[in-house]
Amino acid sequence: MRDARRVIIPLNLAPAGLERPAPGATVQMVGGRTMGTSWSVRAVMPAGTSLESHRPGIEGELDLVIRQMSTWEPGSALSRFNQAPAGSWRPLPRELMQVLDCGMGLAAETKGAFDPAAGALVNLWGFGPEPARQLPPTEPAITEAVAVSSWQRVRLDPAGCRALQPGGVYLDLSGIAKGHAVDRVAACLEADGIASYLVEIGGELRGRGVKPDMTPWWVGLEAQVPTVGDSAPVLIALHGLSVASSGDHQRVFEAAGRRYSHTIDPRTGYPVDEKLSSVTVLDESCMRADALATAILVLGEEAGQAYAAARGIPSLFGFRGLPASQWPMSPALAAMVE
What is the rounded distance in angstroms from the CA atom of residue 246 to the CA atom of residue 47? 38
Long-range contacts of 77-80 (CB under 8 A, 24+ apart): 78/171, 78/173
- φ, ψ at 261 (rounded to 5°): -90, 155
Write a three-state SS string for 30-51.
EEEEECCEEEEEEEEECCCCCH
The pLDDT value given to residue 145: 94
Rounded to whole angstroms, what are the CA distances from 185 to 34, 209, 326? Answer: 13, 15, 34
Which pLDDT score, from 0 to 100, does residue 14 have?
64
The closest of 143, 170, 129 to 270, measured between CA atoms, is 143
For each of the chain's 338 residues, which pLDDT tens digit applies?
Answer: 344 568 877 776 666 666 778 889 999 999 999 998 999 999 999 999 999 999 999 999 999 999 999 999 999 999 999 999 999 999 999 999 999 999 999 999 999 999 999 999 999 988 888 777 778 889 999 999 999 999 999 999 999 999 999 999 999 999 999 999 999 999 999 999 999 999 999 999 999 999 999 999 998 875 444 454 555 568 888 988 999 998 866 666 666 667 777 889 999 999 887 778 889 999 999 999 999 999 999 999 999 999 999 999 999 998 877 777 788 999 999 998 87
Can you give the pLDDT at residue 226? 47
pTM of the model: 0.92
Spatial CA neighbour of 10 closest among 208, 182, 186: 208
Closest alpha carbon to 187 in 28, 331, 65:
65
Pairing of β 37-45 and β 258-261: unpaired
Q: What are phi and psi of 209, to 5 degrees?
A: 80, -165
pLDDT at 251: 66
The span from the CA of 177 to the CA of 242, in Å, is: 14
Pairing of strands 6-8, 234-238: parallel
Please, are residues 44 and 21 in contact by the beta-carbon 8 Å criterion?
yes
Q: What is the pLDDT of residue 108?
A: 97
**Radius of gyration, alpha carbons of the chain:** 20
Domains and CATH numbers, the chain: 1-15+76-174+203-338 (3.10.520.10)
Question: In degrees rounded to 5, what are phi and psi of residue 60?
Answer: -65, -40
Q: How many C-beta neighbours within 10 Å does residue 257 have?
A: 5
